[in-house]
Amino acid sequence: MTVSNGRFLSALHPADSHADQKVRYEPFADSLNFSGMVFPLPLKDIPKFEKKNNLSINVYGLTDDNVVFPLLISKETKRQHINLLYIKKMENSHYCCIKSLSRLVSSQLSKHNNKKFICPRCLQYFSSEVKLNCHSEVCQEHEPVHVHMPDDKWLQFKNVRRSFKLPFVVYADFECLCLPVSSCEPTSSSAYTERYQKHEPISFCYYIAYAHGFYKEPVTYRGPNASKHFMMLLKQEAEEIFQIYQNPKEMIE
């Protein structure tokens, strides 16, 4: 057993202490098939080694700024899985065993210290395993890639004068009654939010502005179920406007 192939054994059989000593992994030397393999193992031979030993291996690299990125991602994650970090300096290169991918990349993804669920293919992170699983179903369909957002993360649109006007815009306003509601008694032993009023819509007015001239008079309503009436009328307006879109007029020469 050499130092190079010992990296694979250390990933599958982590030592409790003195993980750098080869003697810790000698009892497991025959657990992997190294025949026909040249070490240090070239990246192009990783798939062959996976097939020989029925395991999966993900290899990650480092940029000049020490940013981790996916270098070689296994097509299928097996029960026995290994994450390796490939480090290359000048003509020398070697693998390091990654015990925790989350700990390795968390600092480059976010400044927050909360637990992160990392996608091994694109190194995006999520707040829960459920969200990660939903993402993984889509991510599996694409090539592994590391998403890096620019430092200047804000986009701003300034040329408002060059934008196209929307043909139809609805402006609406509601009037409400502030009705008292019952709430719990304040207590100094715990935090609470005191609800004391409920806004009950009683009337509304909306106006549809048309970019090319007058469309129709403002619509007003006052009475019970104002919100329900508003949504019903707005749906009718949308259906009428949709018909206008479906039947465009020829331009006047």
Clarify whether residues 127 and 177 are in a common domain.
no
Give residue 58's domain range.
3-99
Instruction: Measure Cα distances from 72 to 120, 141, 159, 207, 227 in Å.
Output: 10, 16, 44, 58, 56
Distances from the Cα of 22 to the Cαs of 2, 89, 208, in angstroms? Answer: 8, 23, 78
Is 251 a domain residue? no
The verdict on residue 141 lying in a domain is yes
Alpha helices (H) in the chain, listed in sequence order: 3-12, 46-53, 101-109, 129-139, 226-246
153 occurs within a structural domain: no
Q: Which residue has the higher pLDDT, 157 or 233?
A: 233
| Per-residue pLDDT at 227 exceeds 50 | yes
Co-location of 76 and 137 in the same domain = no
Looking at residue 1, its pLDDT comes to: 46
Check whether residue 52 and residue 125 sit in a common domain: no
Check whether 128 has a pLDDT greater than 60: yes
DSSP state of 213: B
68 and 42 both lie in a single domain: yes
Residue 92 has a pLDDT of: 80
Tokens at residue 23, please? 């003697």
- Both 170 and 142 in one domain: the answer is no
Question: Does one domain contain both 17 and 76?
Answer: yes
Q: What's the start-to-end Cα distance of the chain, in Å?
A: 85
Question: Do the domain assignments include residue 253?
Answer: no
Could you tell me how far CA 126 lies from the centroid of its own chain?
A: 6
Chain mean pLDDT for the chain: 85
> pTM of the full predicted structure?
0.55
Per the CB < 8 A criterion, the answer to whether 119 and 139 are in contact is yes
- Alpha-carbon span 78 to 74, nearest angstrom: 9
Structural domains counted in the chain: 3
In this model, does residue 134 exceed pLDDT 90? yes
Q: What is the mean pLDDT of residues 234-251?
A: 90
Tell me the pLDDT tens digit for each residue of 14-72: 777 767 777 777 777 778 888 888 877 888 999 999 999 999 999 999 988 888 999 99
CA separation for the pair 246, 252 (Å, rounded)? 18
Is 179 found in the same domain as 135?
Answer: no
Q: Classify residue 20 as left (phi > 0), alpha (psi -120 to 50) or beta.
A: alpha
Residue 250 pLDDT exceeds 50: yes
Tell me the pairing of strands 197-210 and 219-222: antiparallel
Note whether 88 and 17 are same-domain residues: yes
Q: Are residues 80 and 136 in the same domain?
A: no
**253 band by pLDDT with thresholds 50, 70 and 90:** low
Residues 84 and 124 in one domain: no
Q: pLDDT value at position 70? A: 92
Distance in angstroms (rounded) separating the CA atoms of residues 16 and 224: 72
Q: What is the pLDDT of residue 164?
A: 82
Span of 108-117, 208-217, 234-243 with lowest mean pLDDT: 108-117
Residue 23 lies in a domain: yes
64-123 confidence digits (pLDDT tens): 888 899 999 998 889 999 999 998 887 788 888 898 898 898 888 887 778 889 999 999
- 214 near 201, Cβ under 8 Å? no
1, 9 contact by CB (below 8 A): yes
More confident residue, 23 or 158: 158
Q: Is residue 252 part of a domain?
A: no
- pLDDT above 70 covers what percent of the chain? 91
Q: Classify residue 178: in a domain, yes or no.
A: yes
